[in-house]
Amino acid sequence: MSNILIIKHGSLGDISQISGVLRDIRESHKDQKIFMLTTFQYVELLSGCPYVDVVLIDKRLPRWNILYLIKLKKLLNKYNFVKVYDLQNSSRTSFYRKFLLKISNWSSTETILKKGERKEDFDNESVLERFKIQMQKSEVKTNYTLNPDFSWAKTNVDKIVNKYFGKKFILLFPFCSPDLKHKKWPYFNNLIGIIKTKYSDIEIAIAPGPNEIEEAKNINAVSITNEGMPLNIMELSGLIDKSSYVIANDTGPAHISAHLGKKGVVIFGHHTTPTKVSIETKKFRAIISNDLKNLTAEKLYFQIKDEIELID
């Protein structure tokens, strides 16, 4: 049996987005063993992915760490890969191709471009469209690439949720990475106040990550954890799936929500467009404001109230 390698280091939203790509690659290599090279934080998640057989860890240490590179090179060459699908498409993985794993059958945004085609033009396409082009030029049929389904990642969280409430609930993701504060909509508490005033039968919940526990105390919503610990990615996916509606900043959980087929909205500022990052679906849409401070809670509620009223 020959071996196939897929490289994807992260982030969380990116991992959920490649669910369709992974399935298409699996369909194209039914009789081959598929390995995934990723970072430690996604090992548990991807170990449960039905489209991957083996998960390898890349510590992603600095490239001047020669000992690390030697060990990684030995690890990668140990499995005699016949093809590599580079879904990270970064300078790091380009370095791997040139110096660590020299095989000709390497699919990336660099290797698929024909003479005269520019990477700058290719990068103007949306994320999923770029994956589609990459797969098609790598002779992979793209039946699922444009429609990622992240349902394989969710786990049952009834025991966790039932500790907090038994009602239908709206799930909010008011957080973002400290270095991405420009993505953060500032009026979640105001919106919560409006919803609670108008809908006494709907709970409002949040699910803080490892670095968001303290900040969550300032949000007027039920903070869901597992025995005081942040939910892992599978539990988080299960919670999102169980929710009635999602309202989120442009973060990983928003992408998970979209690719679990949930109804909800993601709030976008000026940083990019929802089309560029391929986040909108039939049920999950974007609300855009060039200046998030100008998008008041009242304005946002006006745009979602019809959907909230339909929550059953």
Its pTM stands at 0.94
Contacting residues for 96 by C-beta, under 8 A, at least 6 apart: 7, 72, 76
User: Counting every residue, how long is the chain?
Assistant: 312
Angle at alpha carbon of residue 47, lines to 46 and 49, rounded to 5°: 60
State residue 303's pLDDT score: 97
Select from 106, 107, 146 the least CA-distant residue to 128.
146
Please name the CATH architecture into which domain 3-149 falls. 3-Layer(aba) Sandwich (3.40)
State residue 180's pLDDT score: 79
Instruction: Name the amino acid, one letter, at 83.
Output: K
Burial per residue of 213-235, b for 16 or more beta-carbon CB atoms within 10 angstroms, e otherwise: eeebeebebbebbeeeebbebbb
State residue 120's pLDDT score: 76
Instruction: For the chain, 312 residues long, give each residue's pLDDT as a single digit of tens.
Output: 789 999 999 899 999 999 999 999 999 999 999 999 999 999 999 999 999 999 999 999 999 999 999 999 999 999 999 999 999 999 999 999 999 998 999 999 989 988 777 877 788 889 999 999 999 999 999 999 999 999 999 999 999 999 998 889 999 999 988 787 889 999 999 999 999 999 999 999 999 999 999 999 999 999 999 999 999 999 999 999 999 999 999 999 999 999 999 999 999 998 889 999 999 999 999 999 999 999 999 999 999 999 999 997
What are the extents of the domains in the chain? 3-149, 153-309
Q: What is the CB neighbour count within 10 angstroms for residue 151?
A: 12
In whole angstroms, what is the distance from residue 28 CA to residue 6 CA?
13
Please name the CATH architecture into which domain 153-309 falls. 3-Layer(aba) Sandwich (3.40)
Same fold, 3-149 and 153-309: yes
Cis peptide before 11 (omega within 30 of 0): yes
Angle at alpha carbon of residue 256, lines to 250 and 259, rounded to 5°: 115
Secondary structure of the chain: what % helix, strand, coil (to 5)?
40, 15, 45
Select from 65, 62, 112, 66 the least CA-distant residue to 87.
112
Select from 293, 197, 198, 300 the least CA-distant residue to 248.
300
Burial per residue of 251-278, b for 16 or more beta-carbon CB atoms within 10 angstroms, e otherwise: bbbbbbbbbbebbbbbbbbeeeebeebb
What does each C-alpha distance from 48 to 7, 214, 243 come to in angstroms?
16, 30, 22
